[in-house]
């Protein structure tokens, strides 16, 4: 078969250009991406071979080999994984199939620095090879296909690629980078090992490199010392050694994993360039047996609000990779969580459909949800370091000095950071996760009329309630500014009563599911006749009654005039400076919710 020339999909050409320019300052990540593709390919083979062991041919030991040729200036990453057919090479290495690509492209600003961050988040994958190479050759054969149906794919990374059929005995893929002039540093075993150690140590397959040993320089003219010496150097020995730890990170005991390794693993699976806020690594035994390694990111991804955004948890069964984005493992309001769950109970051939119905998955989902909530509770607890109550250590006679551990200190401020990024998603849980509603309510935060923008929890609010105050008051509006300046707040301001300001789109909806907090009812200041109960003194009540009586004729006229527009017209005590305001009936939808539903087309 002759060579065929294909054009890259327009987005790929665009991405290629961006990748090579924007990621220039962080070149070495190309190796992480190519090793991770090799590892994915081995995972896929292992998975397909569950139903077809013949795919292993005569090579059941899956591995990745990294080698270089100084003279040819090439670096090769080879795996004996699933490989690609010709058609697959054309599709997978010429287009971007990932969902959200369009979104992603739209977000790019043209500013190198912020784009580099974004690209990292998206996962540049294969194309990152062009940061260091001006030509890439891929040779591959799909497991199960005959040797004659191999494929060679070649491209200089500008617009087009060539594909031809080749004979390739070896199953799997070899990616060869023809290095650019300024990428010499990657023709060095020490440098390569260092990068592999940094980014790919957690990969569960062995990554092999050929051993080198020092060889003294040789006499140019044998036997003649005056003939001069050729300089000594490292030479290849033909023997291969494993250069990574080759055990999946989550299978190692906690004490053997450093925070840096946890963080690097997070960056590898999330494509986030920042460290996570926190993580939890546990082996769970009991009704269900599984290992969970779950991370809370520091920054929301660009597509958090994308409706078909999947959860970020990878599912493994007994260390065999099963699928990415296993949405059945966590509720959708926790879709920002990243990590790995490795089940000992599920069948290896489990499908997405089966997952939805599995009892084991239900247990995993419940356990993982609880784990995430307790991570958040822990961050919330340490967010602002409050001095312990005086009687906290009543059993000790000595004065207790408040010692904050380094670990606790590191958690300060993290919950606010988390909430600023993900608070709105968490609120979805109020409607979605009935069983954990109370725990979730404790994690919610809102600014208030007296907090000067600082987030307030329901518990904080309750602790500050006025004597005689019987409800937690809140107001909803489209924006914080609108909420703050609402005339409905006048009487609360006058009496110095704190009101929670809710200006998030989901607030109104989330609050539908919460009528009280810890025994105290929640009351919208924009609904019905606000009953200030004991907060209103006798004189005020009397004045209001008298006014209502005196204005009866006027009210009747107003009611008549507004009969198509208003249900009722009342004298109110909730206003101080404004002459009138609109309120909704107690049982009716608030203005805000009505607007929201209208926007949603209902």
User: Binding site for ATP: what residues are annotated?
Assistant: 33, 37, 79, 84, 98-100, 121-126, 173, 352
Segment contacting ligand ADP by CB under 6 A, of 23-31, 81-89, 401-409, 527-535: 81-89
- What is the full DSSP assignment across 184-233? GGGS-HHHHHHHHHHHHTT-SS-EEEEEEEEE---BSSTT-GGG-BPPPE
CB of 93 to ligand ADP, least distance (A): 6
84 interacts with ligand ADP by CB under 6 A? yes
CA nearest neighbour of 482 among 504, 460, 509, 512? 504
41 interacts with ligand ADP by CB under 6 A? yes
CA nearest neighbour of 572 among 539, 600, 537, 547? 547
CA nearest neighbour of 341 among 408, 407, 292? 292
Question: Residue 55 binds what, of ligand ADP, Mg ion, none (CB under 5 to 8 Å, by partner type)?
Answer: none
CB of 180 to ligand ADP, least distance (A): 20
Helix, strand or coil, per DSSP, at residue 290: strand
Of residues 456 through 485, those in contact with ligand ADP by CB under 6 A are none
Kind and range of the H or E run holding 558: helix 552-561
Which residue of 79, 115, 490, 508 would you call a contact of ligand ADP, by CB under 6 A? Answer: 79
The CA distance from 301 to 427, in Å, is: 18
Which residue of 81, 125, 331, 367 would you call a contact of Mg ion, by CB under 5 A? Answer: 125
CB of 116 to ligand ADP, least distance (A): 17
The CA distance from 359 to 368, in Å, is: 14
Which residue of 8, 16, 22, 33 would you call a contact of ligand ADP, by CB under 6 A? Answer: 33
Output phi, psi for 497, to 5 deg.
Answer: -95, 130
Alpha helices in 257-358 (DSSP H): 259-270, 352-357
30 interacts with ligand ADP by CB under 6 A? no
Q: Tell me which long-range contacts 420-425 makes (C-beta under 8 A, separation of at least 24).
A: 421/297, 421/298, 421/299, 421/300, 421/336, 422/300, 422/304, 422/336, 423/504, 424/504, 424/505, 424/506, 425/304, 425/333, 425/335, 425/336
125 interacts with ligand ADP by CB under 6 A? yes
Q: Residue 548's CB: how many other CB atoms inside 10 A?
A: 14
Pairing status of strand 64-69 against strand 4-7:
unpaired
Question: Residue 508 binds what, of Mg ion, ligand ADP, none (CB under 5 to 8 Å, by partner type)?
Answer: none
Q: Please, which residue, 82 or 532, has the CB nearer to ligand ADP?
A: 82
121 interacts with Mg ion by CB under 5 A? no
Pairing status of strand 500-502 against strand 320-323:
unpaired
37 interacts with Mg ion by CB under 5 A? yes
126 interacts with ligand ADP by CB under 6 A? yes
123 interacts with ligand ADP by CB under 6 A? yes
Point out which residues pair with 555 in neighbouring strands. Answer: none
Contact present, 183 and 27 (Cβ < 8 Å): yes
CB of 464 to ligand ADP, least distance (A): 50
Contact present, 296 and 336 (Cβ < 8 Å): yes
Q: Please, which residue, 41 or 501, has the CB nearer to ligand ADP?
A: 41
Segment contacting ligand ADP by CB under 6 A, of 74-82, 158-166, 394-402, 591-599: 74-82
173 interacts with ligand ADP by CB under 6 A? yes
Q: Please, which residue, 91 or 239, has the CB nearer to ligand ADP?
A: 91
337 interacts with ligand ADP by CB under 6 A? no
Of residues 542 through 571, those in contact with Mg ion by CB under 5 A are none
Contact present, 527 and 584 (Cβ < 8 Å): yes
Report, in angstroms and rounded to the nearest whole number, the Rg of the chain calculated over CA atoms. Answer: 32
| Site size with ligand ADP, rule: CB under 6 A | 16
Q: Please, which residue, 95 or 112, has the CB nearer to ligand ADP?
A: 95
Q: Please, which residue, 26 or 572, has the CB nearer to Mg ion?
A: 26
With CB atoms as reference, the residue minimizing the distance to ligand ADP is 125
264 interacts with ligand ADP by CB under 6 A? no
37 interacts with ligand ADP by CB under 6 A? yes
Question: Residue 81 binds what, of Mg ion, ligand ADP, none (CB under 5 to 8 Å, by partner type)?
Answer: ligand ADP
Contact present, 578 and 488 (Cβ < 8 Å): no
Q: Please, which residue, 170 or 536, has the CB nearer to ligand ADP?
A: 170
The CA distance from 103 to 106, in Å, is: 5
Q: Please, which residue, 19 or 426, has the CB nearer to ligand ADP?
A: 19
Of residues 92 through 111, those in contact with ligand ADP by CB under 6 A are 92-93
120 interacts with ligand ADP by CB under 6 A? no
User: Residues interacting with ligand ADP, by CB under 6 A?
Assistant: 33, 37-38, 40-41, 79, 81-84, 92-93, 123, 125-126, 173
């Amino acid at each position: 078969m002759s060579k065929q020339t294909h054009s890259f999909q327009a987005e790929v050409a665009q991405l290629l250009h961006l990748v090579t320019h924007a990621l220039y300052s962080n070149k070495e990540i190309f190796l992480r991406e190519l090793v991770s593709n090799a590892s994915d390919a081995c995972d896929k083979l292992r998975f397909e071979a569950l139903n077809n062991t013949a795919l292993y041919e005569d090579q059941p030991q899956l591995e990745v080999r990294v080698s270089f040729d100084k003279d040819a200036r090439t670096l090769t990453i080879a795996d004996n994984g699933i490989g690609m057919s010709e058609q697959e090479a054309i599709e997978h290495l010429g287009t971007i199939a990932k969902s959200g690509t369009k979104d992603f492209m739209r977000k790019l600003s043209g500013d190198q620095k912020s784009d580099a961050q974004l690209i990292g988040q998206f996962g540049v994958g294969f194309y990152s090879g062009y940061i260091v190479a001006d030509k890439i050759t891929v040779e591959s054969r799909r497991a199960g296909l005959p040797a004659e149906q191999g494929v060679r794919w070649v491209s200089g990374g500008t617009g087009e690629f060539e594909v031809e059929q080749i004979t390739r005995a070896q199953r799997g893929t070899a990616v060869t980078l023809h290095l650019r002039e300024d990428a010499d540093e990657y023709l060095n075993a020490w440098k390569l090992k260092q990068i592999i150690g940094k980014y790919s140590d957690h990969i569960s397959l062995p990554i092999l490199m050929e051993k080198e040993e020092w060889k003294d320089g040789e006499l140019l003219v044998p036997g003649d010392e005056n003939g001069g010496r050729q300089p000594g150097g490292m030479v290849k020995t033909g023997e291969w050694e494993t250069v990574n730890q080759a055990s999946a990170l989550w299978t190692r005991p906690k004490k053997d994993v450093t925070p840096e390794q946890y963080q690097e693993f997070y960056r590898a699976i999330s494509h986030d360039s920042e460290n996570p806020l926190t993580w939890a690594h546990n082996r769970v035994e009991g009704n269900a047996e599984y290992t969970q390694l779950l991370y809370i990111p520091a920054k929301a991804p660009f597509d958090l609000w994308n409706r078909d955004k999947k959860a970020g948890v990878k599912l493994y069964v007994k260390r065999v990779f099963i699928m990415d984005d296993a949405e059945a493992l966590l509720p959708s309001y926790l879709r920002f969580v990243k990590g790995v769950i490795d089940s000992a109970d599920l069948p290896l051939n489990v499908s997405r459909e089966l997952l939805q119905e599995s009892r084991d998955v239900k247990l995993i989902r419940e356990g993982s949800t609880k784990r995430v909530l307790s991570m958040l509770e822990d961050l919330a607890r340490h967010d602002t370091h409050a001095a312990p109550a005086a009687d906290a250590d009543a059993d000790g006679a000595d004065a207790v000095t408040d010692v904050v551990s380094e670990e606790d200190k590191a958690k300060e401020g993290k919950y606010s950071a988390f909430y600023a990024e993900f608070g709105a998603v968490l609120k979805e849980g109020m409607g979605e996760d009935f069983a954990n509603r109370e725990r979730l309510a404790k994690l919610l935060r809102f600014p208030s009329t007296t907090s000067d923008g600082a987030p307030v929890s329901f518990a904080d609010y309750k602790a500050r309630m006025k004597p005689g105050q019987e409800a937690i008051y809140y107001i909803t509006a489209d924006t914080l500014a609108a909420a703050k300046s609402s005339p409905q707040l006048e009487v609360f301001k006058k009496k110095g009563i704190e009101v929670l300001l809710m200006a998030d789109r989901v607030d109104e909806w989330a609050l539908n599911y919460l009528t009280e907090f810890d025994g105290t009812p929640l009351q919208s200041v924009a609904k019905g006749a606000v009953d200030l109960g004991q907060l209103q003194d006798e004189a005020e009540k009397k004045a209001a009654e008298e006014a209502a009586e005196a204005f009866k004729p006027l009210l009747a006229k107003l009611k008549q005039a507004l009969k198509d527009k208003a249900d009722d017209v009342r004298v109110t005590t909730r206003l101080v400076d404004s002459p009138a305001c609109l309120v909704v009936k107690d049982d009716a939808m608030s203005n805000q919710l009505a607007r929201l539903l209208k926007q949603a087309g209902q």
